[in-house]
Structure 1
């Protein structure tokens, strides 16, 4: 019953609907008591030869009226109870989604997408069933069972009622034991489903890679193994679940045996009529549903409890990066001061950054270069407040970045990451993501700045072309340029290009950078790149190596140093020469 206590907050929210629904359910339980009693009266009248067409019509009419009333009440209690359970599912889905949207990247690094999807679908469905079918079976089994027992005891024979209930404690003990086993097994089954869900999502997303490496058979075998594990764990649930109905039916069978045996004795003694015994056994038949519902209740509750525990566990994960009290509700603008003495990623012992200090005036461009893993992207993640806990300060304008509301900080930053994510929508919708109502001229203007407009016009449907999931129908360079156009739609104070020109040729890169320089003369830009031609024009260039700055200056100053930057530049010039067919002497 703990799951109902945990859902108490929701039952309070929908108190009116549940009270109406349960009241109607109770009235149906009362109406169900009438037909068995009517049958008993009719049998006694037949036995005493007092049944007339008029009295038979009266009894039949009463049963018809009861049936019509029960029909109407059943319709409305279903609307109230099952309708409310849909609101619970909606509430939990929205709560989970809002929670997901607040979490930092470290949260997603520790959890798989398929597992999170399983929480938002399968687990929520199990909890919804608890608030619908669970409430129904609990209340209906108690009210119907209670009313039936009262009718048996007070309108027929209390002695026979007590005798018929003798096997019931055995049912309570056995179903309670089955329920505990069910909780553990269903939790394992849900976890197995999460693994399968994650595998499915990952395989579909990576199907091109799987086919390229010829791993279809191995991937299918792995999927089959996980699918078999789901079946195996759900079969364990089914084996326990299948014990409820036979156990309850066996116990009800003992009750029927006792009622028939002792009922016949009472009739022989003259303390009970045949009609009373028929009515009593009809009532006893009505107890079958409450008893079966009681068994179903354990199933529903344990499934719902296990799923709700999983959801609560996820919701209990604290938001690591949140707004401060009285955070500044304006978009930042101005100079950037980045001064980090030391930063380690969560659970890492080694420093990801140390002694990284630079200043960037408003309107200037910063170029960041270095080998893979040197700390380039880490600088950007700290600027975006994706991670905190560093020793030092980062200022954007007049305030530290953690003094702004997160939404305002990120509204000021147009970020184009290395991993370009496009939605399964049209080109237009992807570019206008930040402002879906943007006019065509604005979308085309930023597309031209990103030098993707001409490519788009060549697409089958132009700007209305659907790009497919994650932009599967586009080339790498096209995805990069659409991502840049999307960032430019924000008109950001700070534009960050994280190695976002790697898939375009040098000529296109030069054209894009020239357009950005002209269009964003008064706005700040940060570019990370392996190709030095992308950052030659920058007002400041920093060279990263193993988490720290080893060189800093303009292109000309760094070339004069003849250090790491100079070596990288000369090597790239040599590579370009070879690619053009030049000879090295």
Structure 2
């Protein structure tokens, strides 16, 4: 029952709807207690041959009661289950907001399929607890207490106790099965999460699987996970299957004892035939509470296991937190780094990084793969905090600025852009949904992708497919650049975002950006992408190996100048071919 206390915050929020539903449940319970009494009287009238003229009135009363009970049941269902759907809505929004607020370290700990399982199956189980769980708890208690009171006071308390002898056996079994189903259901949900992970991974990488012709191996791995999930769900089903037989056996025992004991009382004259009929009908009304108690154990244990998984997820805190009292934002520039050092999981990624970026300047960051280029950009956007040194924006420490305000100062384009399954225009206007067509086309021209777009049959209305599957790598990168430009943020970050375009298109884009006087930070493995930068940082092992503008670095004759000559030679060879 602890899950109801843990959901107390929601019940307090929706107390009016739940109170209305409970009052109506009580009214329905009271009304359903009337027909057995009426039927018993009718049986006695028929058996005695007296008062037959009252029969039509009794039948009319039963009809009116039936209609009234139907109406009240409709209303309480709307109230009760409407509230449980509201709980699912609230929890899904909380999870999504939590996912969106988490820093990258959170996603290193959790896989996508597992998070999806939390947002679907687990929430569905909690929703059932807040709906059917509350129904079975309240309705079984009200109906059970009312019917037992009538059976004891209006008929025979001795016969009632006799008929209820099998119930303690059922209670013991339900308690035992409930503990078992909690354990097995939690394992079944974990198995479903693993299966979800594998499905998502396989669908995302289906082209890679086909290119390596490993579909058979992937089928085998998927079949194994499916088998494990099936076994776990079968374990839950086996425990579920124990509930009904125990209930039916106990109910059958109760009927047997009621009819046997009641027959003796009828023969002795302690009960009439009509009263025994009414008694057995009331005993039939106890079937629902018996079922409800068993179903309640089932629902509660499932909901408790699922809510525990959701609570543990919501309780996790990302490495980056909002400041308690954010400073009022002043300006994005100058952006200053002083002696930055950062390590992740014991591995040093950056050390002794310093620079200052002012409005309209371009900073280039180059280096070998793994030199720390992307890591540096993540620190600027505060996806992580440095272990040493400081980063200030407009003279204010990043840690004292609201995250939403801070990240609005950047327009970030990663090397592998993500496009949504919608039109090209909608993808470009992601950050500004109300942008005009003219604004969209302007940034597309700056990103040198407008001509490509208009060649599509539907132009800007072209659907790009999941993750932009219908576009080339270069087209996706340029659309992502256009999307970032439309934000008109003070600082544009390009994280190797020109790697899939040819050298001529790259230069055309950089020239267009220069004409717009954008403040740029360009991280690239191509030296041509940073030649126009006022300052270039050459990273190696997380530290600055060389720094200066293009001409000074060429004069130093170091790694940068070697890479420039190598890449120019490579380009000449390609053009010669």
Q: TM-score scaled by structure 1? A: 0.97
List per-residue Cα deviations over 1:419-461 (Å, max 9, x = no partner). 2101111110111111111111111110000000000000121
Shift of 1:533: 0.7
What's the counterpart of residue 308 of structure 2? 309
Range 43-52 or range 182-191, more displaced: 43-52
Correspondence list, 1:65-76, <5 A? 65-76=64-75
Contact kept, 8 Å, 1:21 with 1:78, in 2: the verdict is yes
List per-residue Cα deviations over 1:175-203 (Å, max 9, x = no partner). 01100000000001111111111111111
Choose from 517, 524, 528 the match for 2:523: 528
Range 185-194 or range 354-363, more displaced: 354-363
In 2, distance between residues paired with 1:581 and 1:462?
34
Correspondence list, 1:39-58, <5 A? 39-52=39-52, 54-58=53-57
List per-residue Cα deviations over 1:249-308 (Å, max 9, x = no partner). 111111112112221222222211121111111111111111011111111111111110
What's the counterpart of residue 244 of structure 1? 243
Task: Give secondary structure in 2 for the equivalent of 1:242.
Answer: helix
What's the counterpart of residue 543 of structure 1? 538
Contact kept, 8 Å, 1:336 with 1:362, in 2: the verdict is no
What's the counterpart of residue 33 of structure 1? 33
Shift of 1:341: 4.0
In 1, distance between residues paired with 2:490 and 2:57?
84
Shift of 1:214: 1.1
Shift of 1:389: 4.3
Correspondence list, 1:324-363, <5 A? 324-330=323-329, 332-345=331-344, 348-363=345-360
Shift of 1:221: 2.1
What's the counterpart of residue 410 of structure 1? 407
What's the counterpart of residue 465 of structure 2? 468
What's the counterpart of residue 146 of structure 2? 147
List per-residue Cα deviations over 1:55-108 (Å, max 9, x = no partner). 111110111111011011001000000011110000101111111111001101
Contact kept, 8 Å, 1:332 with 1:408, in 2: the verdict is no
In 1, distance between residues paired with 2:425 and 2:363?
30
What's the counterpart of residue 235 of structure 1? 234
Task: Say what the alpha-carbon RMSD is for the aligned residues.
Answer: 1.3
Shift of 1:328: 3.1
What's the counterpart of residue 458 of structure 1? 455
In 2, distance between residues paired with 1:174 and 1:140?
21
Contact kept, 8 Å, 1:171 with 1:251, in 2: the verdict is yes
What's the counterpart of residue 392 of structure 1? 389
Which consecutive residues of structure 1, in runs of 5 or more, have no partner in the other structure? none
Shift of 1:32: 1.2
In 1, distance between residues paired with 2:573 and 2:445?
32
Shift of 1:242: 1.0
In 2, distance between residues paired with 1:90 and 1:568?
55
In 2, distance between residues paired with 1:378 and 1:253?
70
What's the counterpart of residue 3 of structure 1? 3
In 1, distance between residues paired with 2:452 and 2:331?
34
What's the counterpart of residue 60 of structure 1? 59
Contact kept, 8 Å, 1:366 with 1:540, in 2: the verdict is yes
Shift of 1:371: 0.7
Choose from 461, 476, 479 the match for 1:479: 476
Shift of 1:322: 2.3
In 2, distance between residues paired with 1:317 and 1:227?
29
What's the counterpart of residue 572 of structure 1? 567
Choose from 430, 441, 444 the match for 1:444: 441
Contact kept, 8 Å, 1:331 with 1:409, in 2: the verdict is no
In 2, distance between residues paired with 1:412 and 1:144?
62
Correspondence list, 1:216-235, <5 A? 216-235=215-234
In 1, distance between residues paired with 2:328 and 2:299?
46
In 1, distance between residues paired with 2:269 and 2:383?
85
Contact kept, 8 Å, 2:341 with 2:386, in 1: the verdict is no
Task: Give secondary structure in 1 for the equivalent of 2:355.
Answer: strand
What's the counterpart of residue 136 of structure 1? 135
